[in-house]
Amino acid sequence: MIRVAVVGAGGLGGPITLGLVHAGFEVTVFDGDTVDISNLHRQLQFCDADLGRNKAMALRDWAGATHAHASHWVADNADDVCGDVDLIVDASDSAATKFAVNDWATRTGRPFVIAAALGVAGSVMLGAPSFACYRCWFEAPPGEADSCADAGVLGPILGQVAAIAVDGATALARGDRRTAGTLWTCADLSIEPHHVRQRPLAARADCPACRTSPMPPGQIPLLLAKAHHASH
């Protein structure tokens, strides 16, 4: 069975976890926060009875996830707690965590999805070995960044971003690389008709994360070229 780790059990982590469970994956959720009354309007997996509970544990019970860790995902012990996963999805509200997930997945040669939503916009980055990574595009975490708790987020944006993330994660986990190395962006849902855009990303030659990958960008074309040359 395909194993997936979901980092974050909030507004994005909830529907993403539910979608991946329904896709037949074994899902492990990470979140160290507890359910607060301010979460209920946008984190539909929780209700009044969950107030004060750990989010990962409550989400596991609601979505039917296989495992839950009542702690935040950190790179320091990721090899131990995620060593057997086939794909990792970041659904956290932390820019630093997104870069840490990217760097760990890139270093260990795993496909990954990084989902974000804030205000009336959102994005989904789909990555895999030999394709551009999150750091190729954004380079480094911003010095100061708003969170959903600070700036708010439009509920429908969460659903839209989660749907794209689940679709991309499902494809990557099953070996489909057609959307790897792409960034999907979602603008205000009132903007028509092109409020969702898919952008292919070019890998940066000086990307520090890609240099640690067991198969850096360009490696697959190089291997194919060598195989073609050897057959002639």
Residue 158: closest CA among 39, 57, 68? 39
Contacts of 209 (CB under 8 A, 6+ apart): 102, 103, 106, 107, 133, 134, 135, 136
Residue 130 CA, chain-centre distance (Å), reads 18
- Strands, sheet with 112-118, edge to edge from the N-terminal-most edge strand: 67-69, 26-30, 3-7, 87-90, 112-118, 121-127, 182-186, 196-200
**Enzyme catalytic residues:** 148
Tell me if 18 sits within 8 A of 41, measured CB to CB: no
> E strands of 91-166, at which residues?
112-118, 121-127
> Distance (Å, rounded) from C-alpha 211 to C-alpha 186?
30
